[in-house]
Amino acid sequence: MSLTLRQLRYLVAVADSLHFRKAAAACHVSQPALTTQIQELEDRLGVQLIERTRRKVLLTPIGTEIVTRARSLLDEVEQIEEIARRRHKPLVGPLRLGVIPTVGPYLLPRTLPSVRTAYPDLQLFLREDQTERLLERLRLGQLDLLLLALPVSEAEFDCLPLFDEPFLLAAPPGHRLAEKPDLAESSLAGEGVLLLEEGHCLRDQALAVCRLAGAVEADTFQATSLNTLTQMVANGLGVTLLPSLAVEVEVHSDSRIVTRPFASPPPQRRIALVWRRSSGRAHEFRLLGDCLRANLPEGVSVVGAT
């Protein structure tokens, strides 16, 4: 009996979760069926791939090495399948898209209807997470494509810039900065700015703006979301920087928050699609990027075109 792609998929699923029940659920099979296939794989290879105890599951050293090769092999098989699908029609079937939480809720509801109209047979599966975790999932082949803020420095990834999104200042009424119709970045000098917690790329981008302007991070609070940040501002606890697309959703007509644009050129971030350079779907990803750019809401500047 030869080893099978199914057995390799089950092995990789166990390696990802280090839990047989969770791996079986991810593969949509029963736990006994998955366990049997893993045992047959070990018997076929004549080596122990997984250490099993009542409390934990671990890969053996040779199991770790084989999982690495299995990931590459499964990725190649997936690309073969995608090449065959694209011969008939682009952007058909499943696409696993990772998106950062400071972009997804504000961009996708406005653009996905147009994507569905243009590519009705596309099955889009969304995963929201912080940048580093999304990049790791992309690296492991658990995601196909990411929507996030640049820069991404790893040479193994390719990217398609979509648009530049300016930052706006959000402040409570009566704050000295709320009275200025058009802010210079230097107006932030000496100001304590409320920021997101560690791990959010928006935090790093806002910190960079603060450093250039001579502002500092407010050390009283770190938020887990833009919604929390705006509520802190609404309650008079300080000022923050918001991406322009988030303003309509998070601020609405809340009279407790005043937003002000920065003078040109404003501080901004660049949003892009990112994928593995080895992926065989780059053409499809660029088509999707073109569709997103053609349907962007107001307040952002389109970058380039294919």
Digit-coded pLDDT (tens) for 224-279: 899 999 999 999 988 999 999 999 899 987 889 999 999 888 899 999 999 999 88
More confident: 305 or 294: 294
pLDDT mean over 97-108: 95
Beta strands, E only, the chain = 50-52, 57-59, 93-99, 122-128, 145-149, 157-171, 192-196, 216-223, 239-243, 258-261, 268-276, 301-302
Paired strand residues for 192? 216
Whether residue 135 is predicted with pLDDT greater than 70 in this model: the reply is yes
Give all domains of the chain, ordered by start, each with its CATH number. 5-84 (1.10.10.10), 92-155+271-302 (3.40.190.10), 164-268 (3.40.190.10)
Nearest to 199 by CA among 131, 270, 124, 115: 131
For residue 229, how many other CB atoms are within 10 A of its CB?
A: 29
Cα–Cα distance for residue pair 191/185, rounded to 1 Å: 11
Task: Indicate yes or no: pTM above 0.85.
Answer: no
pLDDT mean over 135-162: 93
Asked which of 62-71, 88-97, 219-228, 279-288 is least confident by mean pLDDT, the reply is: 219-228
The confidence band for 280, taking pLDDT boundaries of 50, 70 and 90, is confident
pLDDT at 277: 92
pLDDT at 274: 98
Query: Using an 8 Å Cβ cutoff, are 146 and 138 in contact?
Result: yes
The confidence band for 26, taking pLDDT boundaries of 50, 70 and 90, is very high
Bond before 265 cis per omega within 30 degrees: yes
